[in-house]
């Protein structure tokens, strides 16, 4: 990531996570489409993000049920 500026990288993260408004999104997408280096950086960001998606995990049903029982108890109390 030697030639992409810090600002451009930060734009790519915000864009990848849908944090940019319409105007910025358009500007960033044009940059991605028009600059192979930026396109390559963006692809790498997305690859890492996709990899992180595989780590999403859930609590056990037991712990959720314990919380619901406790909530019911608090509501009564």
CA 29-13-10 angle, to 5 degrees, is 95
**Two tokens, residue 38:** 């930026």
Sign of CA dihedral 67, 70, 76, 77: negative
Binding mask 22-41 for another protein (x = CB under 8 A): --------------------
> Is-contact 20 28, C-beta < 8 A?
yes
71 in contact with another protein (CB under 8 A): yes
10 in contact with another protein (CB under 8 A): yes
Hey, which residues between 45 and 64 contact another protein (CB under 8 A)? Answer: 45, 47-64
Binding site for another protein (CB under 8 A): 1, 6, 9-10, 13-14, 17, 19, 44-45, 47-64, 66-68, 70-72, 74-75
């Amino acid at each position: 990531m030697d030639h992409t500026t810090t600002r451009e990288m930060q734009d790519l993260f915000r864009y990848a996570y849908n944090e940019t408004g319409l105007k910025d999104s358009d500007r960033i997408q044009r940059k991605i489409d028009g600059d192979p280096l930026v396109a390559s950086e963006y692809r790498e960001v997305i690859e890492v993000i996709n990899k992180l998606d595989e780590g999403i995990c859930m609590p056990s049903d037991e712990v959720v049920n314990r919380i619901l029982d406790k909530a019911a108890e608090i509501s009564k109390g």
